[in-house]
Amino acid sequence: MGLKKSFRYRINFFLELIGFIFPLTIQYFLWTGVFSASGNNITFGYTLNQMLAYSIFACLTSRIISSNFVYEINSDIKEGGLAKYLIRPVNYFSYNLFSYLGEKIGTIITSLIMILVLCVIFYTISSNIISISHIILYLITLILSLILNFYIYYCISELGFWMKDASGAIFITTLVGNIVSGGIFPLDIFGDMVKSILTFLPFSYTSYFPVSILCNTMEYSQILKGICMQILWIFIFVIITPRLWGVGIKKYVAIGG
């Protein structure tokens, strides 16, 4: 279902693909300006090449794990569309999960091709930025990031049970989540204290963690710890999600549909 939907709106898909170049252009001029003004080769613990690599890979990773389905769930709850799923032998969670993964196939393929091409380019610039082992580890953690991000935003979409219209809260949460996840720039720029707080949250393990692996800015001990944290947060959400849904569904009243 999700795969069909992805190809049905292939014009939007290609426009989205082209559209991500704009924020990357801004990032390029921003960081070249910052490094030029500072006069240092290393800023926030990154060289200019590492920072540009992070910005590009973070943008592509954010595209892969983005969760637009939250607005559809909010609409189902608000407008009564959820009722048709409740009276059918369909698991609403599983339906959304597989639709989400199906919609992501095209984005995943194109983004990974671009990432691999860029890895080759950055490797020719400096072998210290990219390595084969880190690409493999990135792909492993990306799968966990995809699952974790789905759970995070599925829980956020459940706010619709307690709000008349949760679209505003979803928008703000998604915007803030993109920042604190490291989807725009590395968490290192916030300083050690704020970074240590953010790394306790699940958001940092969706973008910052896998992208930092790809950019070769993490030790293997940190990578192992990060993978354990990804699995732990997924386990926590596996427990929380159905319980939160169970409480919310008791408040649900179908109007329209």
Count, residues in the chain: 257
Residue 257 falls within a domain, yes or no? no
Domain that holds residue 76: 2-249
Q: Taking 90 as the threshold, does the pLDDT of residue 239 lie above it?
A: yes
What is the residue whose two structure tokens read 């759970």? 151
> pTM, whole model, 2 decimals?
0.86
Specify if 133 maps to a domain.
yes
* Distance of alpha carbon 56 from alpha carbon 116, whole angstroms: 12
Q: Decide if 63 contacts 106 (C-beta within 8 A).
A: no
pLDDT reported for residue 47: 84
To the nearest whole percent, how much of the chain has pLDDT over 70?
89
Residue-wise pLDDT for 72-114, tens only, equals 888 888 887 888 888 878 788 888 888 888 878 877 888 888 8
HSE-up (13 A, CA, CB side) for residue 186: 28
Secondary structure, 3-state, the chain: CHHHHHHHCHHHHHHHHHHCHHHHHHHHHHHHHHHHHHCCCEECCEEHHHHHHHHHHHHHHHHHHCCCHHHHHHHHHHHCCCHHHHCCCCCHHHHHHHHHHHHHHHHHHHHHHHHHHHHHHHHHHCCCCCCHHHHHHHHHHHHHHHHHHHHHHHHHHHHHHCCCCCHHHHHHHHHHHHHHCCCCCCHHHHCHHHHHHHCCCHHHHCCHHHHHHHCCCCCHHHHHHHHHHHHHHHHHHHHHHHHHHHHHHCCCCCCCC
Number of domains in the chain: 1
Q: Does residue 84 lie in a domain region?
A: yes
For residue 190, being part of any structural domain is answered with yes
Residue 255 falls inside a structural domain = no
With a cut of 50, say whether residue 2 has pLDDT above it.
no
Q: What percent of the chain has pLDDT over 90?
A: 30
**Residue 197 counted as domain residue:** yes
pLDDT tens track for 27-42: 788 888 888 888 788 8
